[in-house]
Structure 1
Amino acid sequence: MTVAPSPDDPGRDAYLAEGNAKQARKRVAADALIRDGQGRILLVNPTYKGGWDLPGGMAEENEPPEAAVRRELEEELGLAVGTLRFLCVDWVTPHGPWDDLLGFVFDAGVLEPEQIAKLSPQDEEISEHRFFELDEALKRLPDRQRARAAQALRALGDGVPRYLQNGSPLC
């Protein structure tokens, strides 16, 4: 059994770096719940997968989820958002070819009509965007995203953030 070096040992950083390199890495997604003045939900239609989705996407290496959702909104829709409020995080088990995932959802608020008029897909990943009534929006989302979005909407309503596993609340 290897004993960890003491804090003043000059080899401590190398020891810790070796341990860090062997630890599991998690994929992180960060999405935004965005509404219009009528309470409809903004969805995007990705070109690289079937079904609609909440706007957002995957975090880059060492990027915080909050920064990832801001970057994705700017890159994909040309949207700069102000304050974000955490709604939920969902640990998704490995599925298909994918390892597990931490999926965050943030409340990005209600857009003003001027902001909505300026929304436009900015890259080839998004073919279109549209606001949908709540029930219609949830129907258009794939199962995993639907469960997460439904819990995010509950958190939006009662102000209590959610910790989820595969879309179901654990706490």
Structure 2
Amino acid sequence: MPSPISVSSGDGVARLQWTGEVNTDELRREIAEALVHHSRVEALVGAGDTRAQRAATWAGLHREGVRRGVGPDGEQQDQIVFARLVTDAPVHEPGGFRSLLNSFLPRKRAIAQMLVRDPEGRVLLCQLTYKRDWDLPGGVVEVGESPRLAVQREVEEELGLEVEPGDLLLTDWLPAWGGWDDAVCLVFDGGTRPAAALEEVVKQEREIRDVRFCTLDEVDELAADFTARRVRAAVEGDQPYTESGR
């Protein structure tokens, strides 16, 4: 019986295709044979074909991303890119298995922000260049970066202020919204600084339009509703976890 798996080659890459059910052991053998003469083996699997995705994963192919909008015959269909390199650690080794799992398990975006107040209890807000709403200083945590270091870095980059992050005040989950995936926002205590600290601010012009200390009523007026709820929850300090500030 002929194999349902076809192998093509080009640019030093072996490309696997199959239709219908495929035996994982057979797919694994085809991958191993292809890696004898190629440095990379890849397969494009339909985003809705969960059985084929499962077979590709358990045969040792890492999930690398999504090829959007182009199916095998030019139709509008997303395809998931699976691949294996000749240098990838064997799946039966702990490091190789963890790397395989890491390629397809969910990843959550993290945002780190800082709550800085003046002696009157007003909150430091930034007017951002890329959206209308005001927000707390901070930003996205980079891959491999701790949230605490991320917020310290962001405040220094955006405002030119060196502020040592204090305790974690709030963990706020943000649902998917407006083209963004969901995320977790961590708000750290930035302590109290005099109102004159605004004179020390060096705005990163590409991102920051204005900075000011705001009362909570002003926060409600200037910030998005979910941001205002998050700020109030962080200020009140009686809820360690919220979802969209609630």
> 1:53 and 1:83, CA in 2 relative to 1: closer, same or farther beyond 3 A?
closer
Match of 2:49 in 1: none
In the TM superposition, structure 1's runs of 4+ consecutive aligned residues that sit over 6 Å from their partners are none
Cα deviation, 1:90-147, whole Å, max 9, x if unaligned, reads: 1111112111100111110111356332112134100110111222123211012111
CA distance in 1 between counterparts of 2:133 and 2:121 reads: 21
Cα deviation, 1:2-57, whole Å, max 9, x if unaligned, reads: 7xxxxxx9711101110011111111111111111222111100000111111111
Q: Which runs of 5+ in 1 are unaligned?
A: 3-8
Instruction: Judge which range, 106-115 or 33-42, deviates more.
Output: 106-115
CA distance in 2 between counterparts of 1:163 and 1:68 reads: 20
Match of 1:165 in 2: 243
Q: Which runs of 5+ in 2 are unaligned?
A: 1-23, 25-57, 59-90
Partner residue of 2:219 out of 126, 130, 137: 137
- Highest RCO, 1 vs 2 (Cα 8 Å, sep ≥ 6): 1
Match of 1:84 in 2: 166
Count, aligned residues: 158
2:140 counterpart of 1:62: no
Instruction: Judge which range, 138-147 or 41-50, deviates more.
Output: 138-147
TM-score with structure 2 length normalisation?
0.60
2:29 counterpart of 1:29: no
Structure (1 or 2) with the larger CA radius of gyration = 2
Match of 2:44 in 1: none
2:133 counterpart of 1:51: yes
- Is this contact kept in 1: 2:216–2:232, CA < 8 A? no
- Is this contact kept in 2: 1:75–1:123, CA < 8 A? no
CA distance in 1 between counterparts of 2:201 and 2:142 reads: 23
- Is this contact kept in 1: 2:230–2:245, CA < 8 A? yes
TM-score with structure 1 length normalisation?
0.84
Aligned-residue CA RMSD in angstroms? 2.0
Partner residue of 2:177 out of 83, 87, 95: 95
